[in-house]
Structures are given as structure tokens and as C-alpha cells.
Amino acid sequence: MRKLILNIHLAIGIVAGVFVTLLGVTGGILAFEPELDRISHRDISYVKPGGRALSLAEIGNAISQKYPGEGIVAYLPSTNPDFPTRVILSRGIVSINQYTGDVLGVRTRGQSFLGTVRVLHVRLAMGNPGPFILKWSSLATVVSLLSGLYLWWPVKRMRIAGRWWSARFWYDLHSAIGFYSLLPALVLAGTGTVIGFEDHVSRLFDYISPQRPIENDLVLPVAKLEEAPLIGPDQAVAIASAQLPGGVPYRVQMPRYGGLYVVALEYLQRRVAGERNLISLDPATGKVISAHFSSDLSFRVRLLAANGAIHDGSIWGTPSRIVAAIASMLLPLQATSGLLIWLRRKGILHTR
């Protein structure tokens, strides 16, 4: 049995090692994607708080003066006083200082370094075969970790005793990393497997516990707004915010792109599905046409959202993101040390 499990462990490492390494490196980077993105675009990612924040209408006027004749697709109000408000135009996303009205710059459409990293992590940048390969690589990682635990158990090596580059060094390194990173690595691989097989998992949940469809299109009355011929974005935000006390608006879709104001709000203190609140408004009267709240989400949707938050480390904020990043970055080292052990046993690589 031990020889069989060892062969399975080795086979997985050889076949899926490259993809596991890629998942680890890209996953470690993506754990801090927002921070890295702001660092790489520092000149348009930060503002100095001070004074009254401009209204969306005032920000829109500033944008119109800078880019005349270009319609605003959506506003992305700042949810942090140190970050600028952003405005989506056809040319790209414009950052504007909400305290001074100064346009900081525009990010044009196109693939960035972090965008490439995300595409590699999600689909290997190769279309349909990519997700198929990655989801099976995630499952293979789970099997590899569990088989590694079985192989480690009789010897229980938890420290590195061998000399640098010796066979003992790489064996101890492989065993120690496997032991100390086992739990977070299993969590990452397990949640990644669920994401990869999300369609199958969803059907399984629907089969085990069928959910009654929830009517989210709730028509809610808004008094004394029929008099207004056309409401502005600030009024739309005020009306939407009244429907979701404590919610912070982070996107305002303009009516010219869909016929309605669509205001997205989030609960900043809720890291799982807290951003899934959408209020649609009639731009002529301010009447609420539909309201979709995170509180209406089914158990299946909440569970899958929690799985995603655990996988990217956002479930408990910065501490869990640090753990996710470290565990991800250790996967390539684990795969490399395992490969070196195998090469030595095959006589391809000679170590002291």
C-alpha cells in the first residue's frame, strides 16, 4: 500500500507539478492584488483627504470639462477617504480627486501585468482547456497533499537537518514544508477544486436541498418623487441608500446604458456576499423598480461565496490573505523539492 501511494504521489507531482507551481505563484500574487495594483499605479490610486467631498454631479461636470462629449458609463464612488473616486468612460477608467476635482489620470483598456496573472491563474491564458486542466490540477493537489501526509506519518520529520544541497536536506525540506503548510494548502486546494467544479457542486446542492426561487424584483414605493422630472446620480444614491441602511455605494450605473439607474451597495464589514445588493431606479421619477439584496441569497449561493472568500483569503481580511499568500508561494517550493528528490532517485541528479 505504501509503495502504491508513493507512486501515486510521485505521478501527481510529475504530471501536475508545473500547473501546481503556476497556481501557487499566481495565487500568492493575487492574494494582494488590490494593493499591488495601487502600488503599480500610485499616481492615480491615492488622494489626500481634506475638505468636503464633491458630489457625483460635480465630479461629472469636472469629467465633462476634461473629456467633452464623452458620456459617463458609471461612477465608482470611493469607499475609502484615501482612495479617489473613479469614473468609467468609453476610453477607460478615470481617477479623480473627490476633494479638489482634479483629474489624476486614466487607465485605458488593455491587459496589465496583474490581469495576465489572473488569466493564468483562472484559465492558463489558453481558453477553454485552461479551466479544465486547472480544476483537475487542484483536485490532484488535494490527493497529493493527503498522500504526502500518509507517507510523512511514519517518519514525522518536522525540521531540516541535512547539509545544504544534500539528499537529506531536500528530503527534510520537502517533509517540513509539507507538514507546516498542510492545513492552509489543503484549504486552498479544496476550495479551488470546488470553484473548478462549481457547476457540479451547485447541481449537487440543488439535488440535496432544493431551493424555492426567491422573488428579488421587489417594487418598493418611494414617496414624493413623482414631481421630479429627472433625478441626478446623487439623488439616485440617496434613494438606494435609504433602501439599505448601512450600505455603502460603490457603483452607480448611468441610465443611458440600460435605461435605469443601477446602484450597487456593499456592507464593508461583511466580506462574504456583502457587496451583492443592487437597486434599480426609474431615472424620471426615482421610483425603485427592483431591489436585489444579499439577505435574499440562497444557502447554496452563500456557501459558494464563502468558499471563494476562503480561497482568495479575504474571509478574515489581511491575516487570512497573508496565510493564503504564504501557503500559495510554498507550493512551488514543495513541488521543486519533490522533483529534486525524484531526480536524485532516478540517478539524473547527483547531490552530496
pLDDT digits over 223-246, tens only?
443 444 579 999 999 999 999 999
State the pLDDT at residue 225.
39
Looking at residue 350, its pLDDT comes to 66
Mean pLDDT of 319-326: 96
Q: Is the pLDDT of residue 294 over 50?
A: yes
Residue 230 confidence (pLDDT): 78
pLDDT band per the 50, 70, 90 thresholds, residue 352: low
Task: Give the model's pLDDT for residue 256.
Answer: 87
C-alpha 112/C-alpha 118 separation (Å) is 10
Provide the strand spans (E) within the chain: 74-76, 85-89, 92-96, 103-108, 248-253, 261-266, 277-281, 288-292
Residue 310's nearest CA partner among 323, 329, 301 is 323
pLDDT of residue 59: 97
pLDDT at 58: 97
Instruction: Flag whether pLDDT at 214 surpasses 70.
Output: no
Does the pLDDT value for residue 152 go beyond 70?
yes
Distance CA 41, CA 136 (A): 35
Query: What pLDDT is attached to residue 224?
Result: 44
Q: Which three cell numbers stand for residue 168?
A: 537529506
Residue 352's nearest CA partner among 123, 75, 78, 167 is 167
DSSP 162-199: SPTTSHHHHHHHHHHHHHHTHHHHHHHHHHHHHHHTHH
Q: Please give the grid coordinates belonging to residue 284.
A: 424620471
Average pLDDT on 124-133 reads 88
Tell me if 333 sits within 8 A of 176, measured CB to CB.
no
- How much is the pLDDT for 226? 45
Can you list the positions of beta strands (E) in 201-269? 248-253, 261-266
pLDDT confidence bin for 351, thresholds 50/70/90: low
Q: Over 90: is that where the pLDDT of 347 sits? A: no
In the predicted structure, residue 142 carries a pLDDT above the cut 50: yes
High-pLDDT (> 70) share of the chain, %:
93
Does the pLDDT at position 216 exceed 50?
no
- pLDDT surpasses 70 at 173: yes
Determine the average pLDDT of the residues in 199-222.
66
pLDDT confidence of residue 140 = 95
Whole-model pTM: value is 0.87
Cell of 62: 469636472
pLDDT value of position 180: 94
